[in-house]
Amino acid sequence: MAKRGMNVTSTLSRRRFGQLAAGIAAAATLAKPAILRAQGADVVKMGWFNTTTVSAQIAHVLMRTDIAARNGLRMNMIQLNASPAVNEAIVSNAADVGTLSDFAAVTTMAVGAPVTTIASQARFRSAVLVTKKSGITDVAGLKGKQVYGTFGITAFQNAQEAMTKAGLTPGRDMTFVNVGPAELADAVGAQRIDAFFTYDPFVSFFENAGFAQVISENLTPVIVLTANNRFFKDRPEVAERFLLANSQALYFASQNHDLVNGWFRSLEPAKNIPEAVLEKASGYDPAWNAKAPTDIKAALSEEQIKKLNLLAEWGVEAKLLPRRPDVSKFVDTGIASRVDAAFAAQNFDPKTVKIVG
């Protein structure tokens, strides 16, 4: 294990890892997105970031295959640095649609932005971890300890929930400490702290490197697709074709791991993520190992919508949101439900997909 950890850190330094997690690579539109220039196709501007497993693989498939063109679309793929930048792009109408973590989507709802969350795109894992030097083996062992991580992300809520379930009261029995991703990576690598929380692919990275082990994990976080209302409400037919293309891209990715993982690792800030880490982290989304198109679901489930409501309530309690939004006013599952039915009935063969870039 130690030898393997040394191999990982030689390809991805702690500081480089921190840069990846922080998403501080310059936010910029890809200069030459690999798309099929279909004449007369409807343009869809999509904001995305190349640090979230499965979600980013889908974006690469939309860029590098003919799936968008098959659906009468021309994708303008806008690579940004993280959810906040994608949020801004969607709200300002610089992007028609974008990939957001569930709590980032709730943030747009809390400020009353003219956007609608229209689909579930990918699931990911968050976790509470302890460093190897800590000697801690379970959440109860965190009593009297400090737990480090970035406030205002879904993993923070998941970590608080894990403490409560273990009978620990944050602020009394243990303390959360807000720290940026780069500083967190340095502290974990140097074994200066006992415990922390984060999300994949970074959970898998620390495990793979031999720096830390998971003592609590949550598999419910989701990357959603959120659209500007000018796109979703004024061009619903285009939005429906986009969601169908997204489902096709996800199924194609699930059948071509090596190919799409290579695409993921071809761009900053993810070039140096070890492939084993990427594959493990992606595997926490059940759709990554889909056996049939019926395994792909675009519509947010009732459970996922309940989680959005929980995040909204938590965000207000944690003073991360100005008010608790009425989530039902900002979520629409109608088009995604129709897409799920259509895709399940469609004889989509990923072997017929053409690579165009």
Determine the residue type at 172: R
pLDDT tens by residue, 293-317: 999 999 999 999 999 999 999 999 9
Tokens at residue 17, please?
């890892």
Q: State how far the Cα of 146 lies from the Cα of 195, in Å rounded to an integer.
A: 7
Q: Write down the pTM of the prediction.
A: 0.87
Residues in the chain: 357
Would you call 335 exposed, middle or buried from its count of C-beta atoms within 10 A (0-12, 13-18, 19+)? buried
Q: Angle, nearest 10°, between helix axes 2-11 and 202-209?
A: 130
H or E stretch at 159: helix 154-165
Contacts of 306 (CB under 8 A, 6+ apart): none
Tokens at residue 123, please?
């699931």
pLDDT averaged over every residue in the chain: 90
Q: State how far the Cα of 34 lies from the Cα of 75, in Å rounded to an integer.
A: 9
pLDDT tens by residue, 12-61: 454 444 444 444 333 333 333 333 344 578 999 999 999 899 999 999 99
Q: State how far the Cα of 286 lies from the Cα of 258, in Å rounded to an integer.
A: 17
CB contact at 8 A, 155 and 184: no
H or E stretch at 228: strand 222-228
Position 7 scores a pLDDT of 34
CB contact at 8 A, 246 and 156: no
pLDDT tens by residue, 110-154: 999 999 999 999 999 999 999 999 999 999 999 999 999 999 899
